[in-house]
């Protein structure tokens, strides 16, 4: 791990995101507070980036532009992006990680293309069959992590077990939890207990001698309750659960705003409670949780929400720094090694597909 005084360098896909590159440069500026020195390689259109750096001298001081011609659009299919996007800002930003020039990459661009390119360029870590998208989120008890959030639409039991192990390593090393608990997302009605993959994955985790704390099945409402530290699910369900939670939070926020502006008395009350309401708003601010991690790749790759603003993008940068400073990928490698030794019966599963 590099000492704090030695800057680490990150690749930035400066052209990814609905409001790029302006939002990206502002996001870098917003990320500059904090003890860690970070340098940035900005991959994108120099003609657009140069004036932005001129008007953001603090960013200019720590950034270097790498001119790129192409941009991957949000509509581009992953396969096409992979073949035709070799000179895109996204691809060259990823290449810099594999070349060792930067310690990680952040993009607010096309998720499918980013995953396809990152997988192709960085490759998966030894023992990982498929990378997963993970994110952490607020719960009643603190913070938990959920994966997969959309990288793998169809998952079998082995995939889910691998996600469980990656999530455990993340919760221990990055969230700093001593013995994180793992749950598999399932439906609640007795007798209707889920599909074959979740059943089989639960059996593997239950019967195994893996030194991880398997809680069993959890339901949708356990996500917000923080019943477990790691929620494991397939990418289809995980993506929908995450977005449903976001949508519910938005709806709730709208309803609250409507209620607190409906009468002069309500407005006065809201005014008096303003610091408390502000703190409340901050606590559930989705920007604080922006930055989905592509776990299982041989390199740090963070996906920012495409529609986020500077505060959200700054958070995605912090997520990358956190994974790098906690040597996350080293820990995954070590733990997989150890797990294979500890539970030889699981070698097939944790040894990849």
Give least dist CB 138 to a second copy, A.
7
Shortest approach of a second copy to residue 155 CB, angstroms?
11
Q: Does 237 bind a second copy (CB under 8 A)?
A: yes
Record the tokens describing residue 40, joined without a space.
């940035």
Hey, CA dihedral for 191, 193, 195, 200, is it positive or negative? negative
139 or 327: CB nearest a second copy: 139
C-alpha dist (Å) from residue 91 to 75, 126, 134, 142: 16, 23, 21, 35
> Per residue in 229-259, is it b (16+ CB within 10 Å) or e — as a string?
bbbbbbbebbbebbeebeeebeeeeeeeeee
Rounded Cα gap, residues 332 and 182, in angstroms: 16
Number of chain positions touching a second copy (CB under 8 A) = 78
Q: In this complex, which beta carbon is closest to a second copy, that of residue 50 or of residue 195? A: 195
240 lies in the site for a second copy, by CB under 8 A: yes
Contact status: 277 vs a second copy (CB under 8 A): yes
Using the rule CB under 8 A, give the single segment among 52-60, 84-92, 183-191, 204-212 that binds a second copy: 183-191
Nearer to a second copy, 32 or 225 (CB): 225
Closest CA to 62 of 6, 19, 7, 120: 7
Cβ within 8 Å of residue 250, ≥6 positions away: none
Q: What would the x/- binding string for a second copy be over residues 188 to 217, using CB under 8 A?
A: xxxxx-xx----------------------
Tell me: does residue 47 bind a second copy (CB under 8 A).
no
The reply to whether 83 sits near a second copy by the rule CB under 8 A is no
Q: Which is nearer to a second copy, 9 or 181 (CB)?
A: 181
Least Å distance, CB 295 to a second copy, is 16
- Contact with a second copy (CB under 8 A) among 276, 330, 337, 348: 276
Question: Is 144 among the residues that bind a second copy (CB under 8 A)?
Answer: no
Segment near a second copy (CB under 8 A); pick from 22-30, 42-50, 96-104, 273-281: 273-281
Q: Which stretch binds a second copy (CB under 8 A): 61-69, 96-104, 145-153, 322-330?
A: 145-153
C-alpha 256/C-alpha 258 separation (Å) is: 5
| 115-134 binders of a second copy (CB under 8 A) | 115-116
3-state secondary structure 311-349: HHHHHHHHHHHHHHHCCHHHHHHHHHHHHHHHCHHHHHH
β-bridge partners, 133: 294
Count CB neighbours of 119 within 10 A: 21
């Amino acid at each position: 791990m590099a000492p704090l005084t030695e800057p680490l360098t990150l690749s930035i896909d400066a052209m990814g995101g609905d409001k790029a590159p302006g939002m990206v440069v502002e996001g870098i500026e917003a990320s500059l507070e904090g003890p860690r020195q970070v340098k940035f390689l900005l991959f994108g259109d120099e003609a657009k980036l140069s004036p932005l750096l001129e008007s953001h001298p603090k960013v200019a001081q720590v950034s270097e532009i790498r001119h790129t011609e192409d941009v991957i659009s949000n509509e581009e299919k992953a396969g096409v992006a992979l073949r035709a996007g070799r000179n895109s800002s996204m691809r060259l930003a990823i290449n810099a990680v594999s070349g060792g020039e930067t310690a990680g990459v952040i993009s607010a661009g096309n998720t499918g293309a980013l995953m396809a390119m990152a997988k192709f360029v960085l490759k998966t870590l030894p023992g990982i069959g498929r990378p997963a998208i993970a994110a952490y989120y607020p719960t009643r008890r603190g913070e938990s992590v959920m994966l997969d959030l959309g990288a793998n639409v169809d998952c079998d039991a082995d995939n889910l077990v691998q996600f469980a192990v990656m999530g455990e390593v993340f919760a221990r090393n990055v969230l700093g939890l001593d013995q994180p608990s793992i749950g598999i997302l399932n439906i609640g009605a007795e007798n209707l207990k889920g599909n074959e993959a979740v059943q089989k994955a639960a059996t593997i985790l239950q019967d195994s001698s893996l030194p991880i704390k398997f809680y069993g099945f959890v339901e949708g409402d356990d996500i917000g309750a923080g019943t477990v530290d790691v929620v494991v699910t397939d990418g289809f369900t995980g993506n929908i659960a995450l977005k449903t939670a976001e949508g519910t939070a938005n709806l709730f926020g709208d309803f609250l705003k409507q209620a607190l502006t409906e009468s002069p008395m309500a407005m006065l009350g809201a005014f008096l409670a303003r610091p408390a309401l502000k703190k409340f708003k901050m606590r559930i601010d989705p920007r604080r949780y922006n930055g989905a991690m592509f776990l299982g790749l041989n390199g740090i790759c963070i996906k920012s929400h495409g529609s986020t603003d500077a505060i959200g993008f700054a958070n995605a940068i912090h997520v990358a720094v956190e994974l790098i400073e906690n040597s996350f990928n080293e820990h995954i490698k070590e733990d997989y090694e150890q797990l294979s030794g500890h539970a030889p019966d699981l070698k097939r599963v944790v040894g990849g597909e």
